Amino acid sequence: MKSGRGSGTDRSQLTALSGRGSRVTPLFGEKYMTKEEYVKKYTSIYRKVDKNNKKKAKELIDKLADVLLMMDECKQHIDEEGCVSEMCQGKYTIQRENPWSQTYNQKVKLMATIMDRLDRLLPDAKTETVAKAGDALGAFISKGKPVELR
């Protein structure tokens, strides 16, 4: 017995996810992005990475695109089968978390880690702001009266 939005639907109705080209789930009409589209999207988001870190950022974006493709595949299976599946245990059946849900959750954590690493490659706007504030404070202090220390 299948639960979820796709219950009662033949697996043959769903488009196979090969990781290449444009993919559409006929059942729900969702369009999944290709790896090239993900790379293009995240390259434009992380375009401010300095020249010394461009190669590392490119590698991380490539890994991120792979993870996002895997997440799309997991999501399609979860939409079809639901988050809970039944498993036979001899004379009885038990309900358990769908293995695709577990994989999806692992990929979400991996995606967050990769994006955190990419964020660290960006120039730090906060540091620039603090440096400007420090310069302004130094200029203000230098205009004041000298204080004698005892």
Residue 111 lies in a domain: yes
Residue 146 lies in a domain: no
Residue 150 lies in a domain: no
Residue 145 lies in a domain: no
Number of domains in the chain: 1
Q: DSSP letter string over 61-124? A: HHHHHHHHHHHHHHHHHHHHH-SEEEEEETTEEEEEE-HHHHHHHHHHHHHHHHHHHHHHHS--
- State which residues form the domain around 28: 11-123
Residue 137 lies in a domain: no
> What is the reported pLDDT for 145?
61
> What is the reported pLDDT for 150?
62
Question: Among 36, 33, 43, which residue's Cα sits nearest to residue 75?
Answer: 33
> What is the reported pLDDT for 17?
37
Residue 141 lies in a domain: no
Residue 33 lies in a domain: yes
pTM: 0.62
Contacts of 75 (CB under 8 A, 6+ apart): 104
Residue 134 lies in a domain: no
Ranges of the chain with pLDDT below 70: 1-30, 125-150
